[in-house]
Amino acid sequence: MYRYPRAFNRLKAELEKLPGIGSRTATRLSFHLLERQQVDLDELAQAITSIKRDIQFCQECHNLTSEELCSICQEDRNTDIICIVESPGDVIAMEKTGEFRGVYHVLHGLISPLDDIGPEELSLENLEERIRKFNTKEVIIATDPSAEGDATALYLQKKLADLDVKLSRLAQGLPAGGDLEYADEVTLSRSLAGRQEIQ
């Protein structure tokens, strides 16, 4: 019985660790990479190794950046509204709508007791400080409509309850269990426009 060479299996195993990549896709990608020129593979390897070295988190909102502040925090944005999202991908999704001109706060995860992810693992250390500094009027909790997203929203609601700030959540329209990052612009715009205050 034929077995793939060890190097091929090693690459395939590493690719399978990526989200959404199963065994068949990893095999296809491995064959594709095998057929590429060495210069292309070197470029890919350099891009992968530089991602940790050249990208950091914004000191203000925790979005991705190559500088101290991300491009959004460097803009003249409306600090009266802070939108809390799970990931940098969610920031991109919200920006594509063209509807939101406030600032963001990126959590880098959601509360998930089954995965041993609690509030301590989220980027929450400077959230209250930002709300006070900006004299923010509204905080939009834009977490996914999932069990983890709801748990995180509930935690944030309790954490921010003593602050003089309106708390709201994106309106329905996003599918239950769906990812904000993959919602289309129209659905996301309607959810943003129809956000509801949390009581």
The pLDDT value recorded for residue 114 is 85
Number of structural domains, the chain? 2
Same domain, 101 and 175: yes
**175: in domain:** yes
Same domain, 132 and 86: yes
Same domain, 87 and 181: yes
The pLDDT value recorded for residue 185 is 65
The pLDDT value recorded for residue 173 is 55
Strand order in the sheet with 166-169: 102-106, 78-85, 138-141, 166-169, 196-197
Same domain, 24 and 97: no
- Give the length of the chain: 199
Same domain, 47 and 89: no
**64: in domain:** no
Query: CA-CA distance, 77 to 60, in Å (whole number)?
Result: 13
**150: in domain:** yes
**14: in domain:** yes
Same domain, 91 and 189: yes
CATH number at residue 33: 1.10.8.420
Same domain, 34 and 100: no
For residue 146, give its domain range: 77-197
Q: Provide the residue-wise pLDDT of the chain in tens; the chain has 199 residues.
A: 888 899 999 999 999 999 899 999 999 999 999 999 999 999 999 999 999 899 999 999 999 999 999 999 999 999 999 999 999 999 998 998 888 999 999 999 999 988 889 999 999 999 999 999 999 999 999 998 888 998 999 999 999 999 999 999 876 555 544 566 655 665 666 566 656 566 5
Same domain, 32 and 86: no
Same domain, 91 and 185: yes
Same domain, 83 and 153: yes
**140: in domain:** yes
Same domain, 118 and 171: yes
The pLDDT value recorded for residue 99 is 86
**170: in domain:** yes
Same domain, 93 and 162: yes
The pLDDT value recorded for residue 194 is 59
**71: in domain:** no
